[in-house]
Amino acid sequence: MPKRSAGILLYKHENGALRVLLVHPGGPFWSNRDLGAWSIPKGEYDPDEQPEAAARREFLEETGITMNGALELLGELRQKSGKLVTAYAGESDLDITDIRSNMFEMEWPPHSGKTQAFPEVDRAGWFSVPEAREKINASQLPFIDRLETLHGKTPPPE
């Protein structure tokens, strides 16, 4: 059975343009990578957890921010690794200045016998759709396409 992951693609309209929130993975492997390295905030969940609940939990773990708003299902896709990812869209103008992520430990440097702690996410950013298309892990690109189909048009003035 493939591993399952769930996440949230947050979006907002700014100056008539759609912008999306992506996160950059922490740790030494990703430190010098940019294009194709960013992701929606997401993570694995067990079969007894509902995908939307997992997406909200993972968003909190990776940003330190509780996502309480309504979410729309963007569907599921399979990454190259075989992992199935379910994504939801949520609208918010979240201030990401002070995001804080949970930590993970790994042996670093390799084969040193030393363990170091790293943030799961080292930064977040709001990106235009063209920027996000360059930054996001290619296997997650269909989520941006689906979001753009649903919410790409400029909202009417209030």
Per residue in 120-129, pLDDT (tens digit) is: 999 999 999 9
**CATH fold for domain 4-151:** Nucleoside Triphosphate Pyrophosphohydrolase (3.90.79)
Amino acid letter, 91: E
Strand duo 84-91 + 17-25: pairing: unpaired
pLDDT in tens, 46-67: 999 999 999 999 999 999 999 9
State yes or no: pLDDT of 19 exceeds 80: yes
User: Mean pLDDT, to the nearest integer, of 58-84?
Assistant: 94
Q: Enumerate long-range contacts of 145-154, CB under 8 Å, 24 or more apart.
A: 146/74, 146/75, 146/89, 147/9, 147/11, 147/18, 147/20, 147/74, 147/89, 148/18, 150/72, 150/74, 150/89, 151/11, 151/13, 151/18, 151/89, 151/91, 152/18, 154/13, 154/16, 154/17
Domain boundaries, the chain: 4-151
| 137 burial via Cβ count (<10 Å: 0-12, 13-18, 19+) | middle
pTM of the model: 0.92
